[in-house]
Structure 1
Amino acid sequence: MRLGIISPEVLNTLEEKYSDDFIIDKERKSVCLHEKYKTERERTDAFRRLLTDMREKEVFRSFKGWRNETYGIYYKRHEAPIFHVERSSCAVFGFTSYGVHINGYTYRDGKIMMWVGRRSPTKPTFPNMLDNMCAGGLASGLGVMECAIKECREEASVDDETLKSLRPAGAVSYCYRDHRGILPETEYVFDLEVSPDFVPRSADGEMEQFYLHSLEEIQSLIINEEFKPNCAMVTVDFMIRRGLIAPDEEPNYSYLVERMHVNLQPPC
């Protein structure tokens, strides 16, 4: 089974410095955690030790964003995790990570308006950029709805009554590469209609400020690249599902839809 994607640079580092813990087959272009680690706990403990060493030695840039939070690594998401790793290491090994994004919206004079947040300038990734009203990574041990509710409460102070309107609305998946490494990601998407007088407030400092915009205004902000890229994708997905972007009007319609649903784990 394939769990990740690594670059040639990572492959060389593992071969030179961590060959006791990985089985490396350059002909087959494969890297496996050593078979001596047989259980989920043993594999998790092995990665904890290895990643801590890599961080201390500053082997990979990704570890500058160390979070002290783990993600479960799965072959199939509905099955038990194979092991857990520090979330900042996912980019190094190309492990698929999961998260939740919440579209907070309301109506003004019959028109859809959407709440978006400005990320804190102290965020380790994409500081000061626009974000969905609430979003966060799916940490080990959390259910998807549980995580969505947690992020709504922490990032936007959403009350329990409003949370009754929280609805799952599908998922988007994609893969990109930046200075941290290779990042395959799947985001579970939720829609949350809030009352016209609701105003989100950050309870955890993740958001600097919130804004209520029309979807036309948001389209301009996306085009001007003010949004964190995956948050722009989630917002475009909302517009497509609501029929606000139509196939006969948008020449890139099929391209947009296809690129938002990339198969991250093809069969071996």
Structure 2
Amino acid sequence: MPVFENLLQVVSHCDTFPYTLDPSSTDEIHHAVPFTLGPYTIGNVLPSVIPHLINYNKQENNFLITSDRITFHKHINTPQKRSDVVKQLMDTWRANNTFDVLSGWRNELYPVYGDDSQPDNIAFVIERASAALFGISTFGVHLNAYTRENGQILVWIARRALTKPTWPGLLDNCVAGGISYTYSVKDTIVKECEEEASIPFEVANKARSVNVISYFTYSSGGLQPETEYIYDLKLPQDFKPKPRDGEVDCFYLWPLDKVKETLLNNEWKPNCALVMIDFMIRHSFVTPDEESDFIDISYRLHRRLEFPTPRKGN
């Protein structure tokens, strides 16, 4: 893996689309077809996926597919109907081993937003592992757990288990997870604190919402626009997170100098590195007078993603 010269390169390693692409390239990513719902683009589908969708649609006829957009047919007009159609499609592709990304099936549903008629703006739900196939914008939570010792900030860093299917053995934020359907942001933080780090409710519930970051990346599974809600939790000096659900190998308590060293050495899961850089900015470890790329880093941590977003129900 490459070693980075500066923090902007660390950010760019995750926030890749479309910066790393040659505009003259014939790469299929340049020709992704918008997945739309009414006036909204809710995702982007790569050309390699479209023939499989067309073949499936010949029998089911649930989608309208043209050269410049993909959408549901008019009779698929409620969140339940859309969810049923998408589930049937993904179950079929999974059973046929159509896409490798579906081997990571989670049995976990993600909400997809963009239905103004619904109080929560949810248009349908989709299996987490399949979201990238349609380039769906997803949402998660990350928690920075830290303490202070002799005036110095020390941060709890997780080492991902070697058995993890993605980014095994790399460094991670103390707690992180995707926001599943029916879970609130704070509920997700509290749940993940208990499951991943053995942080009990009475401690986890003190976590503070401090920021949100966004980035647009892509992988072999497809396009991945993502938004992460960021929480900070100051822990007592005598409290130590402990692995619980097998997703974390161990935790380290490090000063920010050590954290920055590992960031530049490319030892982090890419999106978690962005969360850590945001933490260092907010706690004045990275400042505009000392970091020449300060503004560019900030821009890349807060990409404007042109997709519908969650809305609290009335």
TM range (shorter): over 0.9
RMSD between aligned alpha carbons? 1.6
Match of 1:24 in 2: 65
Q: Tell me, what secondary structure is at the counterpart of 1:243? A: coil
CA contact (8 A) 2:189 2:204 kept: no
Q: Tell me, what secondary structure is at the counterpart of 1:43? A: helix
Match of 1:108 in 2: 149
Match of 1:194 in 2: 235
Q: Percent identity at matched positions?
A: 38
| 1:167-211 CA distance string (max 9 Å, x none) | 001111111111111101000000000011111012211111111
Match of 1:58 in 2: 97
**Residues 252, 160 of structure 1: alpha-carbon distance in 2 compared, 3 angstrom cutoff:** same
1:162 Cα shift? 2.1
Q: Which runs of 5+ in 1 are unaligned?
A: none
Match of 1:205 among 238, 246, 252: 246
Match of 1:237 among 274, 278, 282: 278
CA contact (8 A) 2:115 2:123 kept: no
Match of 1:158 among 199, 208, 211: 199
Instruction: Specify the code of the residue in structure 1 equivalent to 2:168.
Output: P
Match of 1:144 among 155, 172, 185: 185
Match of 1:85 in 2: 126
| 1:112-141 CA distance string (max 9 Å, x none) | 000011111121211111110000000000
Separation in 2, partners of 1:161, 1:79? 28
Match of 1:220 in 2: 261
Separation in 2, partners of 1:160, 1:187? 21
Q: TM-score, normalised by structure 1?
A: 0.95
Separation in 1, partners of 2:201, 2:99? 41
1:34 Cα shift? 2.2
Decide which moves more: 99-108 or 200-209: 200-209
Decide which moves more: 66-75 or 163-172: 163-172
Q: Tell me, what secondary structure is at the counterpart of 1:83? A: strand
1:164 Cα shift? 4.2
Separation in 2, partners of 1:212, 1:103? 12
Q: Tell me, what secondary structure is at the counterpart of 2:48? A: helix
Separation in 2, partners of 1:2, 1:59? 25
Instruction: Specify the code of the residue in structure 1 equivalent to 2:158.
Output: G
Separation in 1, partners of 2:269, 2:181? 24
**Residues 18, 257 of structure 1: alpha-carbon distance in 2 compared, 3 angstrom cutoff:** same
CA contact (8 A) 2:109 2:181 kept: yes
1:76 Cα shift? 8.0
Is 1:74 the counterpart of 2:113 in the alignment? Answer: yes
Q: Tell me, what secondary structure is at the counterpart of 1:145? A: helix
| 1:131-165 CA distance string (max 9 Å, x none) | 10000000000000010111111111112332243
1:266 Cα shift? 5.7
Instruction: Specify the code of the residue in structure 2 equivalent to 1:52.
Output: D
Match of 1:180 among 221, 225, 239: 221
Q: Which runs of 5+ in 2 are unaligned?
A: 1-39, 309-314
| 1:84-124 CA distance string (max 9 Å, x none) | 00001111000011100000000122100000111111212
CA contact (8 A) 2:43 2:307 kept: no
Decide which moves more: 245-254 or 135-144: 245-254
Decide which moves more: 92-101 or 37-46: 37-46
Separation in 2, partners of 1:193, 1:2? 39
Q: How many pairs align? A: 265
1:5 Cα shift? 1.1
Instruction: Specify the code of the residue in structure 2 equivalent to 1:16.
Output: N
Separation in 2, partners of 1:150, 1:141? 13
Decide which moves more: 166-175 or 74-83: 74-83
Separation in 2, partners of 1:224, 1:75? 39
Q: TM-score, normalised by structure 2?
A: 0.81
Instruction: Specify the code of the residue in structure 1 equivalent to 2:201.
Output: D
1:75 Cα shift? 2.6
Match of 2:49 in 1: 10
